[in-house]
Amino acid sequence: MIRKFDFLVIGSGIAGISFALKASPYGKVALLCKTTLDESNTSFAQGGIATVMYEPDSFEKHIQDTLIAGDGHCNLAAVEKVVREAPAQISELVNWGVDFDKTDEGLFDLHREGGHSDFRILHHKDNTGFEIQQSLIEKVKSDPNIEIFENYFAIEILTQHHLGDIVTQHTPGIECYGAYVLNYQSNHIHTFLAKTTLLATGGIGNVYATTTNPAIATGDGIAMVHRARGVINDMEFVQFHPTGLYQPGQRPTYLITEAIRGYGAVLRCKDGKEFMQKYDERGSLAPRDIVARAIDNEMKIRGHEFVYLDVTHKNAEETKEHFPNIYKKCLESGIDITKDMIPVSPVQHYLCGGVSVDLNGRTSINRLYAAGECSCTGLHGANRLASNSLIEAIVYADAAVKDAIKELNKVSINEFIPAWNDEGTKLPEEMVLITQSFREVEQIMNSYVGIVRSNLRLKRAMSRLEILYRETEDLFDRSVVSREICELRNVISVAYLIIKHALRRKESRGLHYTVDYPRSMKNEQ
């Protein structure tokens, strides 16, 4: 079936829905998500959303903190853009019904997180993302110009490559005409044609064996652009959150927000001793890459599988008031955080790299924009400052809409794209071939492409991955398309890009830390 829209939005997190809401006054919007509207990294966000609110905080301080965390690799223009445009986008969220916590005086209650020199994290208790996602969903469902497609899986973006022999006109560069999309409940592949397409497909967590990301995070947007020969940057900068709740076998890993360290929690070894001062004078509130590496190092030295996060010295009622969900979740596992230390270990959490975009959210492919975690704006550089991603997503979605509407009347829908051809394919003989290969990718990435890397480990990872790549492409060519085989292909592409970019970087910087090009870190092995 062919469907035509002015705007095709792939992804229903903060980037996708905010784009859809702002684009809908200008044309018809299709909003796709691969499961339900609420399954996204956005829904999982805990700590909050960074913005400069009150003095003595300032744009300059937020810019400086972002640049320091980014370790000399940020795009200054992107940093300035996000920091300066943040307050206006926060007002938009509030207008859409997002309820950020306030003090008794009616001011926004601001938290502080690692790497921030001031209190500037707006939040809704300890489940800010859920509050944002629910408010956006309510808004988008009542917009008559937005058609929502749940359980629709985008397989490929459409480009000249799909025109086959038909050459309509010469266009410089690659063009995007929409996407092939699988409704995996009816098993039909639809052709979505659009004047403008936004990729807002989120993170890549499931490339790793342990992650805070929900199951939808398989890097689909990045893999699609890679196949379409678009530009992808900074894939080596994978962020590991220092404090995932240690619960072997749980997927996704439950996050213990960094805001709890801003509130006063400290990291301790199993013997109860603090260790962060050995690594950084900011102690437990040092930027994430430093804290994650320090924990990793302590665990390796001592042969332990976790360290502790201790908040027991704080007022119990206040702790429960600020972090009600974490309190409840830990209690379910027999940990009363007001009395017991919390076992934590680092876990894959975020990707700084992705589909390269300019200040207007334009990718290297014409008529294709990207926003949110699947994109690489240069804001985060080599390491993201906590709570800078929700704000980046909404600022860039806004920029993309403003840019796209300028072009809308100049482009037309490409009618020549043929329907998806699955002649000669059949159902995969054994699903286990797909699920087992998926597990192998996760294990390769956890074992060889983690917090501390080496050329030897990266090369081993690449040669293991090449075997999986060949087997999977062969299986894909012979099989009827399914969500499972597409996701497997995508995680293999994303893993390949991470390893390739990591091998290319002959230095340790930010999140990319390699023993072959070390950088002095106090007390590190």
Query: What are the residues binding ligand SIN (CB under 6 A)?
Result: 46-47, 257-259, 350, 386-387, 389
- Find out whether 480 and 429 touch, Cβ atoms under 8 Å: no
Q: Please report whether residue 493 would count as binding ligand FAD according to CB under 6 A.
A: no
Query: Between the CA atoms of 367, 370, 376 and 378, what dihedral angle is there, to the nearest 10 degrees?
Result: 80
Q: Kindly name the residue from 120, 288, 367, 464 that is annotated as catalytic.
A: 288
- Choose among ligand FAD, ligand SIN, none what residue 216 binds, the Cβ cut-off being 5 to 8 Å by kind: ligand FAD
User: Residue 348 or residue 472: which is nearer to ligand SIN going by CB?
Assistant: 348
User: Residue 127 or residue 414: which is nearer to ligand SIN going by CB?
Assistant: 127
Residues 109-138 that bind ligand FAD (CB under 6 A): 128-129
Q: For 121, phi and psi rounded to 5 degrees?
A: -105, 110
Q: Could you identify the residue written with the tokens 């986008």?
A: 89
Q: Please report whether residue 42 would count as binding ligand FAD according to CB under 6 A.
A: yes
- Kindly tell me which residue out of 5, 44, 240, 308 binds ligand FAD, with binding defined by CB under 6 A: 44
- Kindly tell me which residue out of 14, 30, 69, 347 binds ligand FAD, with binding defined by CB under 6 A: 14
- Kindly tell me which residue out of 20, 23, 29, 47 binds ligand FAD, with binding defined by CB under 6 A: 47
Alpha carbons within 13 angstroms on the beta-carbon side of residue 366 total 14
Write down the least CB distance from residue 49 to ligand SIN, Å. Answer: 9
- Kindly tell me which residue out of 373, 398, 442, 524 binds ligand FAD, with binding defined by CB under 6 A: 373
Write down the least CB distance from residue 32 to ligand FAD, Å. Answer: 5
User: Residue 13 or residue 343: which is nearer to ligand FAD going by CB?
Assistant: 13
Alpha carbons within 13 angstroms on the beta-carbon side of residue 72 total 5
DSSP string, 177-196: -EEEEEETTTTEEEEEEEEE
Q: Which residues pair with 310 in a beta bridge?
A: 266
Tell me how far apart the alpha carbons of residues 313 and 265 are, in angstroms, rounded to a whole number.
8
User: Residue 33 or residue 417: which is nearer to ligand FAD going by CB?
Assistant: 33
Write down the least CB distance from residue 179 to ligand FAD, Å. Answer: 8
Which range, of 43-51, 75-83, 139-147, 226-234, touches ligand FAD by CB under 6 A?
Answer: 43-51
Residue in the shown chain whose Cβ atom is closest to ligand SIN: 47
- Find out whether 346 and 295 touch, Cβ atoms under 8 Å: yes
User: Residue 207 or residue 485: which is nearer to ligand SIN going by CB?
Assistant: 207
Which range, of 38-46, 161-169, 185-193, 430-438, touches ligand FAD by CB under 6 A?
Answer: 38-46
DSSP string, 271-328: TS-B-GGGT-TTGGGS-HHHHHHHHHHHHHHHT-S-EEEE-TTS-HHHHHHH-HHHHH
Q: Please report whether residue 34 would count as binding ligand FAD according to CB under 6 A.
A: yes
Give the three-class secondary structure for 469.
Answer: helix
- Give the total residue count for the chain: 525
Residues 149-168 that bind ligand FAD (CB under 6 A): 153-154
Torsion-angle region of 485 (φ positive above 0: left; ψ -120 to 50: alpha; else: beta): alpha
- Kindly tell me which residue out of 71, 220, 298, 310 binds ligand FAD, with binding defined by CB under 6 A: 220
- Kindly tell me which residue out of 159, 191, 196, 213 binds ligand FAD, with binding defined by CB under 6 A: 213
Which range, of 35-43, 56-64, 139-147, 515-523, touches ligand FAD by CB under 6 A?
Answer: 35-43
Sign of CA dihedral 68, 71, 72, 73: negative
Active site residue 120: no
Write down the least CB distance from residue 387 to ligand SIN, Å. Answer: 4
Which range, of 32-40, 70-78, 277-285, 324-332, touches ligand FAD by CB under 6 A?
Answer: 32-40
The count of residues interacting with ligand FAD (CB under 6 A) is 42
Which range, of 13-21, 134-142, 229-237, 262-270, touches ligand FAD by CB under 6 A?
Answer: 13-21
- The token pair at 452 is 């501390």
Q: Could you identify the residue written with the tokens 């001011």?
A: 107
Q: Please report whether residue 32 would count as binding ligand FAD according to CB under 6 A.
A: yes
Q: Please report whether residue 343 would count as binding ligand FAD according to CB under 6 A.
A: no
Write down the least CB distance from residue 132 to ligand FAD, Å. Answer: 8
Torsion-angle region of 31 (φ positive above 0: left; ψ -120 to 50: alpha; else: beta): beta
What is the maximum alpha-carbon separation in the chain?
71
Tell me how far apart the alpha carbons of residues 170 and 3 are, in angstroms, rounded to a whole number.
24
Tell me which amino acid residue 258 is: E
Q: Report how far apart the first and last C-alpha atoms of the chain are (Å, whole number).
A: 58
Q: For 12, phi and psi rounded to 5 degrees?
A: -120, 35
User: Residue 39 or residue 131: which is nearer to ligand FAD going by CB?
Assistant: 39
- Choose among ligand FAD, ligand SIN, none what residue 191 binds, the Cβ cut-off being 5 to 8 Å by kind: none
Contact partners, residue 451, CB within 8 Å, separation at least 6: 240, 292, 293, 296, 346, 513
Task: Say how many C-beta atoms besides its own lie within 10 A of residue 477's C-beta.
Answer: 9
- Find out whether 48 and 128 touch, Cβ atoms under 8 Å: yes
- Kindly tell me which residue out of 27, 35, 99, 428 binds ligand FAD, with binding defined by CB under 6 A: 35
Annotated catalytic residues are: 288
The footprint of ligand FAD (CB under 6 A) covers 10-16, 32-35, 39-42, 44-49, 128-129, 153-154, 200-203, 212-213, 216, 220, 255, 350, 372-373, 387-390, 393
